[in-house]
Amino acid sequence: MSREKGFAIEIRERYQDVAGDRWPAAVGPQPDELLSSWLHRLAIANGVAPRSFAGGLGLGGGMWSPRLDARLPEDVAAWLGARTGVACEAISAMAMTDGALAPLWLPLRETARRSRSTWIQYCAVCLADDSAPYFRRSCRLASRISCFTHRCGLRDRCPACRAGIVPFAQTELVPQYVCVCCGFDLRGAAKVSVGLAARRLERSIDDICKAEIAKGSPTIHEWVARLLRVPVIVGIGSGRPLTSLPASARIRCFEQLAQRADDERVVAADRAAPRRCRIAPTTGGRDGLITRFADFLDAHQRSPRFSRARPPGADLAALLAAYARAVGDGPRSKRRGGGAGLHKSLAA
């Protein structure tokens, strides 16, 4: 062996032979990550701006990645799988596959008119905490108004310039948490406050949706139709459905609905009990809130269409009462088992 210093040169396999069709940078999906979010990260990691990446995929411009969220063709999933090493199933799972909740998806809108919804929402604290900031699938639903982890409201636009979040239109190698329109770092957006009752209501709605989907229950369609009409019940949004309203208006809807359901509960308690036994508005917790919410929806939202078309077992009040019984009003540790209890209760 020579003692002379120098570089050892060795002939190895060609990169093409080793990597095949794989792109150089691997990007793994994050928990609950939306397909479009992963695509934007994938593009930037591989040195291509998202707008140009769409061309590479043979897709048109505009909202190319949110369109894939809504409908991912199998051949595109397979093509992406071959180039990223991520299983096709994992790629497909990032798309919005839950058809039963499709009416609650925020519509694809590139412009962000003040009084209208935008296509995606985010929690600034989540983005700040993420090692690789990403957008969540759950934030595509109009029925989501807050972050369950950070207990703050979701935002649906840039707080600096009020534009919508449009990372698919990014023409530079800039991460998706930076506003495409003004360059504001969305991770620095201030927390939005949402009342406790509204957050409890939202959480219950989310739990029920998940349980109904897991059961494959046909009542989910009626449940979703009722949720869409929540703004009409509380008189916000000039008769438009939940999906049309911006995040700030949907937060107001939930706060008012929670308040009105609670007011009705207090009135009912007044009628039923002497003054000294009244239930204060802050007591009753989740149990009381859900029960009154169900009664409230039934009283205010029953339409001839629902009355005629209501399938057997589709009584929302009964469903929510069962949920309230299963979840109870106990401490946090007790609630954790609520899902299983609900299944048991609904199956009975």
Do 239 and 115 contact (CB within 8 A), yes or no?
Answer: no
Does 128 help bind Zn ion (rule: CB under 5 A)? no
Q: How far is the CB of 256 from Zn ion (least distance, A)?
A: 23
Q: Any residues with CB less than 8 A from the CB of 327 and at least 6 apart, and which?
A: 204, 207, 286, 287, 290, 335, 338, 341, 342
Q: Which of 67, 109, 150, 200 binds Zn ion (CB under 5 A)?
A: 150
Residue 149 in contact with Zn ion, rule: CB under 5 A: yes
CB 63 within 8 A of CB 119: yes
What minimum distance in Å lies between the beta carbon of 74 and Zn ion? 33
Task: Report d(CA 336, CA 334) in Å as an integer.
Answer: 5
Q: Is 181 in the site for Zn ion (CB under 5 A)?
A: yes
CA distance 348 to 345: 5
E-only strand ranges, 98-207 = none
For the CB of residue 110, give the shortest distance to Zn ion in the complex, in Å. Answer: 14
Residue choice 35, 54, 106, 123 for contact with Zn ion (CB under 5 A)? 123
Query: Is residue 325 near Zn ion by the rule CB under 5 A?
Result: no
* Binder among 34, 70, 179, 227 for Zn ion (CB under 5 A): 179
Q: List, in order, residues 6 or more apart from 201 with CB less than 8 Å away.
A: 254, 257, 258, 261, 289, 293
Q: Nearest approach, Cβ of 159 to Zn ion (angstroms)? A: 8
Rounded to the nearest whole angstrom, what is the least distance from the CB of residue 237 to Zn ion in the complex?
25
Using DSSP's 3-state secondary structure scheme, residue 146 falls into strand
Instruction: Compute, in degrees rounded to 10, the torsion defined by CA atoms 214, 215, 221, 223.
Output: -90
Q: Of 179 and 201, which CB lies nearer to Zn ion in the complex structure?
A: 179
Of residues 83, 107, 184, 279, which one binds Zn ion by CB under 5 A? 184
Q: Report the residue number, 42 or 158, with the smaller CB distance to Zn ion.
A: 158
Member of 158, 189, 230, 342 binding Zn ion (CB under 5 A): 158
- Taking alpha carbons only, the member of 209, 191, 207, 188 closest to residue 251 is 191
Residue 160 is a binding residue for Zn ion (CB under 5 A)? yes
Burial 34-58 (b: 16+ CB within 10 A, else e): bbbbbbbbbbbebebbbbebbeeee
Task: For the CB of residue 160, give the shortest distance to Zn ion in the complex, in Å.
Answer: 5
Specify the residue, 155 or 286, whose C-beta has the smaller distance to Zn ion: 155
Task: Provide, rounded to whole angstroms, the least separation between the CB of residue 207 and Zn ion.
Answer: 18
For Zn ion, the closer CB: 64 or 135: 135
User: Given the rule CB under 5 A, which residues bind Zn ion?
Assistant: 123, 125-126, 147, 149-150, 158, 160-161, 163, 179, 181-182, 184
